[in-house]
Amino acid sequence: MTTLADLPIRDDLRGQSPYGAPQLHVPVALNVNENTHGLPDDVIDDIVGALAAAVRGANRYPDREFTALREALAGYLGDAVRPENIWAANGSNEVLQQLLQAFGGPGRSLLGFSPTYSMYPLLALGTGTEWVSASRAEGFVLTADRAAEQVRQARPDIVILCAPNNPTGTPLDLDVVTAVYDATDGVVIVDEAYAEFMPAGTPSAVTLLEGRERLAVSRTMSKAFAFAGVRLGYLAADPALIDALRLVRLPYHLSALTQAAACAALRHADEMLAMVGEIAAQRDRIITQLTRMGFHPYPSGSNFVLFGGVAEPRAVFDALLAQGILIRDQSIPGHLRVTAGTEAETTAFLNAMEPFAPAGE
32 and 172 share a domain?
no
pLDDT of residue 359: 65
294 and 231 share a domain?
no
Q: Report if residue 239 sits inside a domain.
A: yes
Contacts of 190 by beta carbon, 8 Å cutoff, 6+ apart: 160, 161, 163, 172, 177, 205, 215, 216, 217, 218
pLDDT of residue 360: 52
Q: Report if residue 11 sits inside a domain.
A: no
323 and 209 share a domain?
no
Other C-beta atoms closer than 10 Å to the C-beta of 3 total 6
Domain CATH for 249 = 3.40.640.10
Q: Report if residue 175 sits inside a domain.
A: yes
62 and 190 share a domain?
yes
Q: Report if residue 5 sits inside a domain.
A: no
214 and 309 share a domain?
no
36 and 46 share a domain?
no
158 and 237 share a domain?
yes
174 and 195 share a domain?
yes
b/e burial code for range 269-292 (CB count within 10 A of at least 16 → b): beebeebbeebbebbebbbebbee
Q: Report if residue 84 sits inside a domain.
A: yes
Give the residue from 214, 233, 267 where a domain finishes.
267
Give the residue from 267, 293, 308 where a domain finishes.
267
Q: Report if residue 166 sits inside a domain.
A: yes
256 and 347 share a domain?
no
Q: Report if residue 10 sits inside a domain.
A: no
pLDDT of residue 229: 95
Give the residue from 267, 286, 317 where a domain finishes.
267
Residue-level pLDDT, tens digit, the chain, 361 residues: 898 888 999 988 888 888 877 788 899 999 999 999 989 999 999 999 999 999 999 999 999 999 999 999 999 999 989 999 999 999 999 999 999 999 999 999 999 999 999 999 999 999 999 999 999 999 999 999 999 999 999 999 999 999 999 999 999 999 999 999 999 999 999 999 999 999 989 999 999 999 999 999 999 999 999 999 999 999 999 999 999 999 999 999 999 999 999 999 999 999 988 899 999 999 999 999 999 999 999 999 999 999 999 999 999 999 999 999 999 999 999 999 999 999 999 999 999 999 999 965 4
Q: Report if residue 12 sits inside a domain.
A: no
- Alpha-carbon distance values, 65 to 62, 218, 295 (Å): 9, 18, 49
Name the domain count of the chain. Answer: 2
pLDDT of residue 21: 74
35 and 64 share a domain?
no
- Alpha-carbon distance values, 190 to 147, 205, 237, 289 (Å): 13, 7, 11, 31
126 and 181 share a domain?
yes
Domain of residue 55 covers: 41-267
45 and 100 share a domain?
yes
pLDDT of residue 361: 47
- Are the C-beta atoms of residues 55 and 257 closer than 8 Å to each other? yes
Domain CATH for 317 = 3.90.1150.10
Please classify residue 93 by burial: count the beta carbons closer than 10 Å to its beta carbon, then call 0-12 exposed, 13-18 middle and 19+ buried: buried
